[in-house]
Every structure is written in C-alpha cells, then in structure tokens.
C-alpha cells in the first residue's frame, strides 16, 4: 500500500466527485483548507463532513495563526497578530504568557469544534525587521521571548486537543524575500543562526513539539539547498542535533522557493530524501497529480506521528471561550 504522505487542497466550498476520488487515493494523507473553501461556519462543517466521508483518516489542516494569516473569520474569533504579545511580555511577562496560552486554546478549540485537526502554528521565526512575509506573525525579535510565548501558545493548543507545528525551521525572519514569490537567502553563519533563530525550535522540541515545517530559504554559508530540501538541516541538525522525532511537513512545493528542486516529481523526491514526512502541494492540481503518481511508483515509509496529529476534540468550555474572545478583541483594538 502507498504511504499516505501527500497533503493537497480542493477548489471550492463543496467537494466534487473528482476531488473525493482523489482524497481516497492511498498516497493522500492530508488536505489543507484556504479562505476560498470557506463561506460560513455551517458550510465549513458540511465540507469537513464530505472530506471525512471520502477519506475518514485524512489529516485536515489550515493556516490559522491570527493577524494577517487567518483563513476563517465569519463565525470564528478574529485573532490578533502574535507580535502584539512581545511588547506586553516586556511590561508584564506573566500576564502575556497567560494571554498567549488563552489565544492558543481559543484558536485550537474553535477549529476542532468544526472538525479541523491542525493549524500550522505557531510561527517560531524571529522578527528581525527584515522579512516581508514574517513581521508581526512572529512572537517578537528576541529568541527567549519567542520561545516562552510560543511555548505558552502551544500549551493552550494542547489543552484544547490540538498538536502544534512550529515553522519555519531554522528561521525565516532574516531572509528578506517572500518564498511564495522567489527563493530567499540568508547569508549568516551557522553559529549565528544556532544562537538566535534556532533557539525557539530547540526549546519547543524539548517540550515535545509534534510537527515542524522547514523554510524554503537557502542559508548560503551553511548549505546550498533550501532547508526543506537539505539533508544537512533536516537530518543532521533537526533530527540528530536537536533530537526532533516528530513529523516534518514540507512547506508548499508549489511555492517559488521550491522551484530550486525542478519539476513537481523532482521536488517531491528531493523533499523526501532530505527528510520530509508529509508533502504539501497547494493551488496546483496538475502538480499534485504529478506528485501523486511519483508516490504511487515510489512509496516512502510513513512517519507514525502523522496519524497521531489527528485532533482530539474536547468539551468546549463556554465561559473560557467568552473570556478568550474578549481578550482577542482587546488585543486587536486596544494595542
């Protein structure tokens, strides 16, 4: 049987028969949803039901960090960008940690309630004031601050029943370019990256982080390949040096930053050889089918942690939700 390691997307707010058949393929193990898949909370629940009917064990994911990156809004709490917590932490660290925990819980609880398994969160990058794509998505500029705030956010996610995925290893905050549009580079030495950007990843790995997504960034002084296609970064540094044994999700193989590796089958092969466990191919149906055909012909060994990342929906604490919603509104409008 082909290992279920491909995560793909669908076009609209309902599942077509062709999409349902594609999700049922043995090689498909995940689906990521976008804003185009959302019209209302009721519609989203119906779409999730259609996905589960086609592929009961599939991992359903979304990018739902807060701030600029939140796919579902109407019927969901609009979350602040996590960067607002950094200044609060400098003034009242205990309060900021409690707020980070509640925001993590709220984000996860609302998604689990509609059947979404994971949000690709938290962002563990540092806001060096350079990256056009990271910015206030980060929990701050200081590695220690990011580690403790993101750690609290992850604990909140866990209290709701959701596994966390840290991104973008070993850190996307220094590279100026947007990897959706081009291949970013980071010219710093390994020692600098290790001392700064890698620290939040190291701290959360020690705390049991379930998933990590590497960056489509070339660290030119370290390795000629982007991190997501680099055995050095994924096997030597992430697996061996940091001891990470969870699931490595490739970033989207349709992004310009992945074009380094060639066509879609080549991108899949390079990512798997480097150490990725699940491959994302979004917004490119033909590319997804090319990867599917490659996986059917070259089935990899599945990572056992993929199934373990399925959401564990729990009873929703209504009073806690109300308090967390008020907190989210206050952080969005009062700061």
Catalytic residue among 251, 252, 277, 303: 251
* 246/279 Cα distance (integer angstroms): 15
Look at the alpha carbons of 335, 178, 238, 70 in this order and tell me if their dihedral is positive or negative.
Answer: positive
Q: What whole-number distance in Å separates Cα of residue 105 and Cα of residue 111?
A: 10
> Catalytic one among 63, 178, 180, 223?
180
Phi, then psi, of 139 in degrees rounded to 5: -85, 10
Is 63 among the residues known to form the active site? no
Secondary structure (3-state) at 7: strand
**Residue 315 a catalytic site member:** no
Among 279, 283, 305, smallest CA distance to 292 is for 279
Whether the Cβ atoms of residue 53 and residue 46 lie closer than 8 Å to each other: no
Burial class for 172, CB neighbours closer than 10 Å (0-12, 13-18, 19+): buried
Residues 6+ positions from 125 with CB-CB distance below 8 Å:
131, 134, 137, 138, 146, 167, 168, 171, 172, 173, 197
User: Which residues are known catalytic residues?
Assistant: 180, 251
């Amino acid at each position: 049987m082909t290992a279920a390691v491909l995560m793909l997307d669908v076009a609209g707010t309902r599942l077509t028969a062709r999409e349902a058949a594609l999700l049922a393929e043995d090689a498909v193990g995940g689906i990521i949803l976008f804003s185009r898949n959302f019209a209302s909370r009721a519609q989203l629940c119906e779409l999730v039901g259609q996905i589960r009917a086609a592929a009961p064990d599939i991992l359903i994911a979304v990018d739902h960090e807060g701030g600029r990156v939140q796919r579902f809004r109407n019927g969901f709490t609009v979350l602040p960008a996590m960067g607002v917590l950094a200044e609060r932490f400098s003034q009242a660290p205990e309060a900021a940690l409690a707020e980070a925990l509640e925001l993590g819980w709220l984000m996860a609880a609302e998604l689990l309630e509609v059947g979404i398994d994971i949000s690709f969160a938290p962002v563990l990058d540092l806001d060096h004031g350079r990256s056009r794509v990271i910015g206030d998505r980060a929990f701050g500029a200081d590695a220690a601050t990011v580690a403790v705030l993101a750690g609290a956010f992850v604990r909140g996610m866990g209290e709701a029943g959701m596994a966390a995925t840290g991104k973008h290893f070993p850190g996307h905050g220094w590279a100026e370019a947007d990897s959706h549009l081009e291949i970013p580079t980071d010219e710093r030495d390994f020692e600098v990256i290790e001392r700064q950007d890698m620290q939040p990843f190291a701290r959360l790995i020690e705390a049991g982080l379930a998933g990590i997504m590497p960056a489509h960034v070339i660290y030119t002084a370290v390795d000629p390949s982007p991190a997501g296609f680099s055995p050095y970064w994924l096997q030597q540094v992430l697996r061996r040096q940091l001891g990470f044994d969870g699931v490595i999700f490739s970033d989207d193989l349709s992004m310009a930053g992945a074009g380094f590796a060639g066509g879609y089958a080549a991108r899949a092969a390079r990512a798997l050889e480097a150490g990725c466990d699940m491959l994302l191919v979004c917004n490119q149906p033909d590319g997804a089918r090319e990867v599917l055909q490659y996986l059917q012909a070259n089935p990899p060994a599945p990572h056992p942690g993929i199934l373990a990342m399925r959401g564990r929906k729990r009873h929703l604490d209504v009073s806690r939700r109300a308090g967390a919603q008020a907190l989210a509104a206050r952080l969005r409008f009062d700061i």
